[in-house]
Structure 1
Amino acid sequence: MSSDTFPISSRGNEAGASADKLAVLSTPYGESAGVRRRSVLGAGASGGPGPAPRASAGSETTRAIQSALPASIPPRNQDEPSGYAPGSVLLPLAAETSDAVSMSATTPSEPLQAPADTSPAHGTEAEKGTGAVATVTESSAAAAGSVPAPGVEEAREDPVPAALPDSRTWEESAYAPAPRRRRLPMWTAAASFLLLLGVGTAAYAYASHYEDHAVPGTVVAGTDLSGKTREEVVTAVEDLTAKATVTVSGDVEVTASLEDLGVSVDAEATADAAMARGDALVDRFRALVNDQEIEVVTASDDQALADYATSLIPEDQVKAVNATVLLEEDGATFTITPSSAGTSLDSASLGQAARKAAASLTPTSVSVSFDSSAPEVSDSQAQEAADKANEWVGQDITVATADGTSVYTASAVEKASWITVTNSADAAPTIEVDAAQVTSWVEAQAADAGSEPVNGERNVNSDGEVVSTPVEAVDGEDVNNAAEVSDEIVQALDDNQAYSGAFEMTVVEATWSERTIADGAEKLIYQAEPGEKWIDVDLASRTVTSYEGATVVRGPVTIVDGAEETPTVTGTYQIYLQYDSQTMEGDNIDGSRYRTEDVPWVSYFHSGYAFHGAPWRSDFGYSASHGCVNMPVEEAKWIYDWVDIGTTVVSHY
């Protein structure tokens, strides 16, 4: 039904139905109860349902309902906790088209705690329900014959729950506000952030630490080197190498080191390989789940192994000797040392054991025995290699300059130095051309064939005119194909052929520099810049003249220069050292020593040559000194005060 009221019986109290539209419920147990059925929309329009009616335990309606309960459903005990099962009853109701219709009344598990409704429509005993859709009130209009027998349920259109006592409070009822959804506390989000921050910090610290440390899972020769620095890895490998010995038994009993057996372990290169595992950032994290065995970097010397094996043979036994190739004392001819049969030791087994110990960096053992056999390398094998080397030396190797003015020819000694001979303990000797040696020779000839440019110098006057050219510019040349020539020579010798080639040159242009000189300075021995201080020592006239630019500021002053046996030097120099007083001493021509104390106003311009005062002389204008420029004391002082360190001095005839 969609109306606000549901007519339970057509024979009810018409006065009540007209006022409240109540249907009348007739029961055989006393006064009738009126039931009003309201829809949810109707309840909402009227301001919501009122509190559920609370039936007193002693009311006639309650007693009538309890009397109508089937025997299998005992009446509710008022002292028993409220629940659904004991409170579910079937109430017979009058229908619109029949005298009665059954109604299911469901008693809530707890009574509602709502304020009583004291409106006149329901009386003082009726109360508004908070969750019920029907209200039961006492009435005398019901007929006793309208209720079916207990246990019999007729067909009904819509069960209506009866409003029986309910212990629920208002807050617990269906109309109480729904509980608010719980939200994640702020401390939980903060904890998650801190956790992520901690993980990130730990990852950064891990990556930074292993930037210069071996990453986890780095294993060298079975030893875990994780977390070690490169220096620590080097030390660890060196320590393991020292312990990696070979115990030799059999005909010889000795403990040999790897070095004895011609095997070397490159700890530096091994450490580099171990550290390279963590070069990339992603590799440092992959290392957490992947171990890696780093191979030990080793090198072996077969000749050293053979020499050690031979040294183990007792002196009283003749030792087998291999034929070898060597360069004679003249440095230009290859020859051989002959072989001989005798007692030999199994050097191959020794070498295998040594390589095994080096690879694992752990001690190992091997059993060897003496053999009476022919040498591993015969005379004919060695002679074949020597003859081939001598043929290479006999090939002509020449390189000319581009213009043909110079030709460079390699000597026999130079060509022999280009050939490398390798004598093996168990194979014929081999020879090869050392490309590095050939390149060194070619570059030396190229340097001689080339030339450095000579940069020119021009002096110009204040008008910019070139007034003199002290240095002419000369272009230079560089060889540009030295590498190609080297490769061609190596290939020619490998093919046992002569070689004739030529250098190709590149011109290196010279540059010019211009220097502005004082007007008129082009006529002087030194072409000074305007205002530049310089001193002219004219040995022909035995005078000293001081200039600023082209202007004389002092002199000419008559001097005493060096004697014929100890002449004054000539050239262009600079003042570099001064003393206001000095004791001078040196050698005379006859080999005796001289010593002159308190020489005043000394200004050195080259080595031991200087201007200085000569108070022991009364006249000047001749040659008699040990090479210094002797001057009157006052003139020497003027020079001392006027010059600067670096002032130019030109001495000439």
Structure 2
Amino acid sequence: MREDFETTQAMPPITPDEAAPLAGTSGTGIVPPAGVAAAAAVPPEDLNIGTTAARKSRKGLIITLSLVAVLLVALVGAFFGARAYYADKVAPGVRFGSASVVGQTRDEVKATVDQAIKDSAVTVKDSNGKSVTASLKDLGVNIDVDQTVDAIMDAKSSSNIGEDILRVNPFGHVDVPLTASTDNAALSDFLSAKLVSDDERAVPSSIAYDANAQAFAATEGRAGKTPKVAKVVSAVKQAIAEPGTAASVSITDETIDTPISLEAAQKAADAANQRLNNKIVMTNGNAKQFELPNDAVASWIKAESRPSQGAITLSYDSVAIKKYMAEQLPGQLNQDMVSQEDIVDGNGSVIVAAQVKGVDGVAVKDTDKAAEQVLDTLKEGNGGTVQVTADVTKFDVKQKQSEWRVVIDKSSQTAVVYHNGQQVKSFLVCTGGPGGNETDSGNWYIYLKYRVQDMRGYNDDGSKYLSPGVKWVSYFNGGEGFHTASWNYGGIASGDPANHGSHGCVNMYEQDAEWIYENCPEGTLVQVVGTQPSGPVR
């Protein structure tokens, strides 16, 4: 070998002459180092063999390390490749009942879950030879497909590299069940309806809302047969844990009293009616409010039978409440801002404050919060007022001079009309009589009109009166107004309210009352001045 040749050339044999001084035979007293002496004692053949073995050992180590490095690179590459491949797919080792899901995409997993749910039917046979094949939904199972898919896709997932290694490890298994809730009462009701005839079936007492009576009423149930459902409940649990496989269960019936007594049902009806009787009032905190109607509240109350507990429990449909509030609150509680209008004289002094009453603008918001408050109030059962959050725009105040003005002078028993400060008409009148019927002095304004109206009221002695078909009515102060008084033309002509006065209104000839009605609009300023005469003034 070339390596041996090079080694022998590098270390030639030592001649006797060269070795003599090293051996100390010249008498110099020099002793060679032990290592040199040992080397000199080794035959050339042995030196060649040792060097070759060392070389071979190093070569083997290098080869081994290289193989290990290649293997590690391959493993790392395989890990990152698998990690990338399964990033949006189901990881190895994930099991979902009897279905194969490894490597499936989200859409594929959803299809697998849907199929597994269909395949998880339970066939129930009773001792009378009746049989029914039911889906999990029939048996009261509420399955969240999306959450189940999420659980499968996320199984063995982690943001940690070390744990990601475990995720792509096909030997690590994770079993994913259906994400579901169960309702054994619904299961029992379904099987009773399918396996027990109507006339034999045990019926629980119940409650229902009577729209005509505006109240909940209890209805008594009856004793009868019901299926023993324990085995079916176990089958349902197994189907949830390991979906995708059909099951068959044999059961028997038993005779029981009504699962829910009339007393228990009446207790639930009373609790529901408490929610209807204790009213909930919605307000915008300003000028508007409304009471929640019984029909709406009743539709939110859900009576849930609990035969296993012998009771009916009340719950509330929060989704329906939110929808109602979002749809109804703006229309019921929003209000436009209305500027207040004060009537002033030529000097700017207020004669009639708030001829038009100011109204704040209100826009309700956050109807979901209002729905939450209503839900809390229903749960408490005590009713109350719920103030809805709203944006409020305060009304402003405007002042204006009345274009039209009517001055009623009780002293002269006349009514003088002014338009923009200029007198345009003067009428003879007869105002209210004595004994509390005198027309009130002060500043008023016309606010309501009728072409024809039946007038009703009370005389001084407490008896009722009726004046049918009164024409040309213009009210300016509560029940006081201008109107035709064909029965009192003598009192108008003489101006004698002391003996022919009204109950507070201003009696006028028909053509004069009509002129006021036609020409003096709502908002016309009416000033009542002067003193009540004790007799005729004309």
TM-score by length of 1: 0.44
Cα offset, 1:205, TM superposition: 0.8
1:115–1:396 Cα change, 3 Å: closer
Supply the distance in 1 between the matched residues of 2:24 and 2:187 (Cα, whole angstroms): 116
2:284/2:362 contact within 8 Å kept: no
User: The residue matched to 2:18 in structure 1 has which SS?
Assistant: coil
- Superposed, which structure 2 residues align to 1:102-117 within 5 Å? none
Aligned to 1:346: 228
Aligned to 1:398: 281
Aligned to 2:319: 436
Supply the distance in 2 between the matched residues of 1:444 and 1:113 (Cα, whole angstroms): 110
Supply the distance in 1 between the matched residues of 2:47 and 2:21 (Cα, whole angstroms): 14
> What is the aligned residue count?
344
Cα offset, 1:370, TM superposition: 2.1
2:121/2:133 contact within 8 Å kept: yes
Cα offset, 1:291, TM superposition: 2.4
Cα offset, 1:389, TM superposition: 1.0
Supply the distance in 1 between the matched residues of 2:87 and 2:18 (Cα, whole angstroms): 77
2:132/2:195 contact within 8 Å kept: no
Cα offset, 1:364, TM superposition: 3.9
Supply the distance in 2 between the matched residues of 1:347 and 1:181 (Cα, whole angstroms): 78
- Superposed, which structure 2 residues align to 1:87-102 within 5 Å? none
Cα offset, 1:319, TM superposition: 2.0
Higher helix share: 2
Aligned to 2:102: 226
| Cα distance per residue 1:176-196 (max 9 Å; x no partner) | 9xx999987999887766554
1:293–1:432 Cα change, 3 Å: same
Corresponding position: 1:285 with 2:285: no
Supply the distance in 2 between the matched residues of 1:350 and 1:182 (Cα, whole angstroms): 72
2:196/2:226 contact within 8 Å kept: no
2:132/2:194 contact within 8 Å kept: no
Aligned to 2:22: 133
1:135–1:195 Cα change, 3 Å: same
TM-score by length of 2: 0.53
1:501–1:311 Cα change, 3 Å: closer
Please, which of 135, 138, 141 is the counterpart of residue 258 of structure 1?
135
Aligned to 2:7: none
Supply the distance in 2 between the matched residues of 1:278 and 1:430 (Cα, whole angstroms): 40
2:335/2:363 contact within 8 Å kept: yes
| Cα distance per residue 1:288-347 (max 9 Å; x no partner) | 264222232223344542333223445496222222222235494322333122222224
Supply the distance in 1 between the matched residues of 2:202 and 2:70 (Cα, whole angstroms): 78
Corresponding position: 1:408 with 2:290: yes
| Cα distance per residue 1:552-585 (max 9 Å; x no partner) | xxxxxxxxxxxxxxxxxxxxxxxxxxxxxxxxxx
Using CA pairs under 8 Å that are at least 6 residues apart, name the structure with larger relative contact order, 1 or 2: 2
Aligned to 2:387: 502
The CA RMSD measured in Å over matched residues stands at: 4.6
2:123/2:248 contact within 8 Å kept: yes
Please, which of 183, 188, 192 is the counterpart of residue 310 of structure 1?
192
| Cα distance per residue 1:260-292 (max 9 Å; x no partner) | 423354443222112112442434322326422
Q: Taking every aligned residue pair, what percent have the same amino acid on both sides? A: 22
Radius of gyration: which is bigger? 1
Gaps of 5+ in 1: 1-111, 117-126, 138-155, 455-473, 510-653
| Cα distance per residue 1:499-544 (max 9 Å; x no partner) | 12434433579xxxxxxxxxxxxxxxxxxxxxxxxxxxxxxxxxxx
Corresponding position: 1:419 with 2:308: no
User: The residue matched to 1:295 in structure 2 has which SS?
Assistant: coil
Supply the distance in 2 between the matched residues of 1:350 and 1:172 (Cα, whole angstroms): 87
1:290–1:452 Cα change, 3 Å: farther
| Cα distance per residue 1:78-123 (max 9 Å; x no partner) | xxxxxxxxxxxxxxxxxxxxxxxxxxxxxxxxxx97698xxxxxxx
Aligned to 1:387: 270
Supply the distance in 2 between the matched residues of 1:382 and 1:354 (Cα, whole angstroms): 29
Supply the distance in 1 between the matched residues of 2:191 and 2:112 (Cα, whole angstroms): 29
Supply the distance in 2 between the matched residues of 1:297 and 1:182 (Cα, whole angstroms): 61
Aligned to 2:77: 201
Supply the distance in 2 between the matched residues of 1:372 and 1:181 (Cα, whole angstroms): 91
Please, which of 317, 325, 348 is the counterpart of residue 207 of structure 2?
325
Supply the distance in 1 between the matched residues of 2:93 and 2:190 (Cα, whole angstroms): 38
Supply the distance in 2 between the matched residues of 1:228 and 1:203 (Cα, whole angstroms): 19
Supply the distance in 2 between the matched residues of 1:314 and 1:171 (Cα, whole angstroms): 102
| Cα distance per residue 1:582-641 (max 9 Å; x no partner) | xxxxxxxxxxxxxxxxxxxxxxxxxxxxxxxxxxxxxxxxxxxxxxxxxxxxxxxxxxxx
